[in-house]
Amino acid sequence: MTNHLVNAYPALAGKLRKVALANLPTPVGRGAIPAASGMRDIGIKYDNLTSSYYGGNKIRKLEFLLQRAIDKRAKRVATFGSVASNHALATALYARRLDLDCTCLLSHQVESPAIARVLRLLLQSGAEIVRYGGDYRSRVETMRRYLQGRRTWAIPLGGSSWLGAVGYVSAGLELAAQVGAGEIDAPERIYLATGTMGSAGGLALGLALAGMQSEVQAVRVSPDEIMNRKRLDHLMAKTASMLNRLDPSIPVDLHRRARIEVRHEFFAGGYARSNVATDAAISIARDALGLDLESTYTGKAMAALLYDAGQAQHRDAFLMFWNTYNSSPLPEIPESAIDIGLLPAEFLRYFD
């Protein structure tokens, strides 16, 4: 059974439906990282393996969000992100599998080699790609133009609504079950990157629901106006409230029991930017753990774990890295196979 939340709270069956996209539970394991005192064991949760089609953390959220689109008899889903958004790509790929049209409203970001590849994959998936930005009035007008009258179900940035966060509430219960089965020790701290807060907030709620004392280290990778403590607390409170409404045996104040700390010091100067600590963390993860990380999200989370591992107060703590980066190989698309002229003109600069 892959829906640990419904398994624990059967009254939610039929109320919190999901479409089966992920291969769950994802494995847990151990690895060793270099520390001042020698090599040090850490735990790893392999959410990079949520699917052999396209993995990573977005899939747990999309199981619930795309099911809701189907239940609402939508013909199209629309979502938001940057031009290299893993969330937008995952939404487009899985929407196509479910025979849903997809519109991706995308904004600019710092240039990186990943952008051209993501945009080609979006075009290959058949997604409609729209330039999204400007002032509030411009954004509203864009949404009206591309969403209204098209039987569209909108999925928020990063999939981080209360319903998306439910995917990671279930993930927290999944980890608790693996700890209970002796597959891994209970970690004192769990490190994962957070851009729009749904994964980190949902995980903290799920751990609290399971009675675990593990503290989530939510490593910020997005600007403060997107990821901040006030918005995180609001999302967690809303998720707890909605779960309580669906099953009153779930504490309405669950968010107050959750253990989560926002880490700002590994932001590296901006979204999709890197620094020495991030680059070093990516190298150590590759060489010591065999993990393929990247600089926008997971490299920053690993940098936080490595820093804490070197602090005296965490010398004896069992730390866990939650890998949220897809590791399933994506097809290499020949340039001649995709007409980039279908992109908004402003996005062509990423192919120069």
- The DSSP call for residue 25 is S
pLDDT at 241: 98
Q: Which amino acid is at 25?
A: P
> Do 258 and 127 belong together in one domain?
no
Contact (CB, 8 A) for 33 and 288: yes
Please identify, among 159, 189, 223, the residue that sits at the C-terminal boundary of a domain.
Answer: 159
> Do 117 and 30 belong together in one domain?
no
* Alpha-carbon span 199 to 168, nearest angstrom: 5
Domain limits for position 91: 58-159
Q: Is residue 333 included in any domain, yes or no? A: no
Alpha carbon 92 to its chain's center: 15
Q: Which of 187, 184, 160, 155 is nearest to 67 (CA)?
A: 155
pLDDT at 138: 95
Helix (H) or strand (E) holding 105: strand 101-107
Please identify, among 141, 159, 177, the residue that sits at the C-terminal boundary of a domain.
Answer: 159
* Alpha-carbon span 33 to 235, nearest angstrom: 34
Q: Is residue 213 included in any domain, yes or no? A: yes
Q: Which two tokens stand for residue 240?
A: 């707890």
* Alpha-carbon span 194 to 201, nearest angstrom: 9
Q: Which amino acid is at 289?
A: L
> Do 145 and 183 belong together in one domain?
no
Q: Which two tokens stand for residue 224?
A: 């403060």
> Do 283 and 168 belong together in one domain?
yes
Q: Is residue 330 included in any domain, yes or no? A: no
> Do 197 and 257 belong together in one domain?
yes
HEC profile of 129-194: EEECCCCHHHHHHHHHHHHCCCCEEECCHHHCCHHHHHHHHHHHHHHHHHHHCCCCCCCCEEEEEE
pLDDT at 337: 83
Whether the link from the prior residue into 10 is cis, omega within 30° of 0, is no
How many domains does the structure of the chain reveal?
A: 2
Residue ranges in the chain assigned as alpha helix (H): 4-8, 58-71, 86-97, 114-125, 136-147, 162-180, 198-209, 229-246, 254-257, 276-284, 298-309
Q: Is residue 339 included in any domain, yes or no? A: no
pLDDT at 38: 86
Q: What is the mean pLDDT of each run of 10 residues along the chain (352 residues)?
A: 88 94 97 91 98 96 98 98 96 98 97 92 96 95 96 96 98 98 98 97 98 98 95 98 98 98 96 96 98 97 97 95 94 82 95 86
pLDDT at 238: 98
pLDDT at 36: 82
Find residue 105's DSSP bridge partners: 80, 130
* Alpha-carbon span 259 to 38, nearest angstrom: 29
HEC profile of 255-279: HHHCCEEEECCCCCCCCCCCCHHHH
> Do 188 and 277 belong together in one domain?
yes
Find residue 78's DSSP bridge partners: 103, 154
* Alpha-carbon span 193 to 48, nearest angstrom: 13
Q: Which of 129, 158, 132 is nearest to 65 (CA)?
A: 158
Please identify, among 159, 184, 209, the residue that sits at the C-terminal boundary of a domain.
Answer: 159
